[in-house]
Chain A
């Protein structure tokens, strides 16, 4: 075999190579003899520098994983700054929302990738309305979010102890198995805080948000109001107004929901509407009446308390007088009892 200049390392005894090569040829192992003559610098980067190998390594290094990683680290640094800015922007938008000020579109840029995506801070998912299927966003090991066509979502945070997404428009279904409160989807009308569940969020162009809980439970929150929603319930939240009391999805009529809206969001709650809701409620609808206990109107609070006590009488372990005064611990104890007895 013709061995070219530099094909053998200087430090290797040529006689050793020749002897071994002869032995190998005797066994028909030309292949191995060739292997032995591979230049040392090409083999493991030791020995005398081979200009040809060094030239190729230098020319091709920019395409390596390590080169991309260093670029990605610089990008990550910039992305963190962007994420911080995004959080500030979201906080400002939320503040503006509460004060009925117009907010700017929080998702000006487009996403770029097909198929499922891994949630990372700063990632934006924009699914065209013409797309046939939802785009899946994988949220670490917690689960995934399917973002429907015509939707815009941004990942504000993707830390182990908090995954925070923002759905600006459209629909998304989250299937999450996480510790309570470690996964949240914000919308222009509030925040759905996961308590270990699957739920669907729809955001209209005007920011109005409807939430349906498929399994588990969520807490839908704004600065001034929080509703607790077990599986099977739904609510609508309007920007600047907050979420309404949850109702059982598909089980209550439109007139019931309209009456509920009147109780919760008109300046002077109608006594007819209140009577209708309380009269038509079943023990199961205690979930709806329970949320009326937080009404700012004393008449609504008092009537709701009496009806709830009749529909879903608490055990002796619930301090009713404390609950009547609005004591949160007593109310939650009662709620837990109702959950076990009527809502699951």
Chain B
């Protein structure tokens, strides 16, 4: 079987907003007050929100924060100006909620990075099982890689899904996955987790 050539793009940052997608259609309906549409929209973005929160806050806090994010989104959806930006909108709410968490706890370092990303500092909730230890290793990786790796390896989203649901280009996600895996592989060997 012959595969098509992978997508190439010179834009490695935010993707150009598509004119139409199922998420955009749902966002328009949700903005207009369709609660069912919001529910379906949340179903699609919940894994992304979960992954972003898992990148930024202790895992035992994630479940409660998911509720906060869904509630914030529900309250704010009628003010969504550009439905094409729905992916970035959900990601920003999640990152802001994580930032608020660290601010309120006065715990760890709060670094306002590009696009409101926060650095939670060391993650403390490391379990004894191998999965927990691998997760801790990923969460200790540079910011650039850990979010995409968590979305791919923990949430199980494919590269194209990550690109579509986070407003990144497929090329950018590909590169981050590739480089992140190389770093992760070395770290896992070092930690006897390979």
Chain A interface (Cβ < 8 Å from any Cβ of B) = 9, 11-13, 16, 20, 24, 29, 31-32, 34-40, 42-45, 47, 52-53, 56-57, 59-66, 68-69, 72, 113, 115-116, 118, 138, 141
Contacts and interface: CB of A to CB of B under 8 A. Distances in A.
Nearest to A40: B3
B179 interface: yes
Interface string B153-170: 111101110000000000
Chain A residues touching B, majority SS: helix
A56 B66 CA distance: 24
A45 B50 contact: no
Contacts of B68: 115-116
Interface in B143-194: 152-156, 158-160, 171-172, 174-175, 177-179, 181, 185
Contact of B177 (A32, A43, A115): A43
Contacts of A32: 8-10, 171, 175
B74 interface: yes
A46 to B, nearest CB: 8
B153 A57 contact: yes
Contacts of B156: 57, 61, 64, 66
B20 interface: no
Contacts of B178: 34-35, 37-38, 42
Contacts of B152: 42
Given A13-B2, A65-B46, A38 B158 contact: no
A11 B2 contact: yes
Contact of B1 (A11, A34, A38, A64): A11
B130 to A, nearest CB: 6
B59 interface: yes
A63 B185 contact: no
Contacts of A116: 68
Q: Which of A36, A37, A43, A53 has the most CB of B within 10 A?
A: A43
B175 A20 contact: no
Instruction: State the 7 A-B residue pairs at the shortest beta-carbon distance, nearest first.
Output: A65-B50, A35-B174, A44-B158, A38-B178, A59-B131, A35-B175, A43-B159
Contacts, number: 109
B154 A38 contact: no
B36 interface: no
Interface of B: 1-3, 5-6, 8-10, 12, 46-47, 49-51, 54, 59, 62-64, 66-68, 71, 74, 104, 130-132, 134-135, 152-156, 158-160, 171-172, 174-175, 177-179, 181, 185
A44 B151 CA distance: 12
Nearest to A30: B175
A43 B152 CA distance: 8
A182 B63 CA distance: 28
Contacts of B9: 32
Given A43-B6, A60-B135, A63-B154, 16 more contacts: A11-B3, A32-B10, A32-B175, A37-B178, A38-B6, A42-B177, A43-B159, A43-B174, A44-B159, A57-B153, A63-B59, A64-B155, A65-B50, A65-B51, A66-B155, A138-B71
A142 to B, nearest CB: 13
Contacts of B171: 31-32, 35
B39 to A, nearest CB: 12
Contact of A61 (B6, B59, B154, B181): B154
B47 A34 contact: no
Among A42, A63, A68, chain B packs the most CB atoms within 10 A around the CB of A63
Given A31-B12, A35-B6, A59-B131, A113 B64 contact: yes
A13 to B, nearest CB: 7
B67 to A, nearest CB: 5
